[in-house]
Amino acid sequence: MILEGALLVILCVAQTASLSPTLPPTITTPTTPTPNVTTPNQPTAAPADNYVKIGAFNIQSFGKTKYSRKDVRDYLIQIVTKYDAVMIQEIKDKSQVMIHDFLADCQLHRNYSMALSKRLGRSRYREQYALFYDQDKLAVKKQAEYPDPQDIFHREPLVVHLSDKSSGQELTLMGVHTDPDDVPEELGEMENAYNWATSQGYPTDALIMGDFNADCSYLKASEYASISLATSTSFTWLIDSSADTTVSDNTDCAYDRFVAAGAARFTNTTVDRFDTTFNFTAAEARRVSDHYPIQTLWIV
């Protein structure tokens, strides 16, 4: 009996050892739209095709005080003039003089012109958008602010009809800086803004850009499902939530985005780490802005 019992124990142990361990269930969390272009911060060689280099840059609190700092101003000129077209956000000068002075400084390096919005906001706090574009390569046919019939936006998007002079190709650029307190609502209105633009004769090929505040505490992954700009197959997000467009060492957030619509082709979408370019410390970089520019190439 003792021998039989020992054999039974051995058989049970052997059988148990042969069973596969039970794995914990896979937990699926909501994801943001997946980009279909180069992962940000991994640029490749410039394409052989003709292209237009487009940027979007939230220059934090861009007013007379920041502009008066010569070293900061010189760095901003170097950053901005890399682009054939760049959407500047968070312009905060009541006199509206500073942005024209900045344009004149940049014109020493490129044949820039400017599409400028009115001052936008619901209170005494207001901002402007400015699209700087190189007149040697590009033309602006018209511009407008989205009329926002339901007053969803704190700062209505600037809409610009851009044309490439060499190829004749046309593109709608839409710049927006969402309010951090109303990100889902404002991004939820962007498809209506795009549809309004195309109904007014703006090209269906479009690039929506700017500081969307589309990450971290301002926009949670679960909220993307309610935003048609994120769920509709008509739009392609060129920068996903794995990117970090913030300068601070304490944040890792993809606030700034490009979203494409139509048949226009884009490549080499990246985050421009100017701190690396200029060998800045974190403190030195923050004097320029708390955001990095984002950039992409429009194939024309």
HSE, side-chain direction, 13 A CA sphere, residue 121: 12
Helix axes 70-80, 98-106, angle to 10 degrees: 60
Closest CA to 256 of 34, 88, 131: 88
| 3-class state of residue 239 by DSSP | coil
Active-site residues, by number, are 127, 177
Contacts with 173 (C-beta within 8 Å, 6 or more apart), sequence order: 54, 85, 87, 131, 159, 160, 162, 206, 207, 209
> What are the DSSP calls for 156-177, one per residue?
PPEEEEEEETTT--EEEEEE--
Name the residue among 235, 231, 257 with its Cα closest to residue 244.
257
* CA–CA distance, 18 with 41 (Å, rounded to integer): 47
Radius of gyration, alpha carbons of the chain: 24
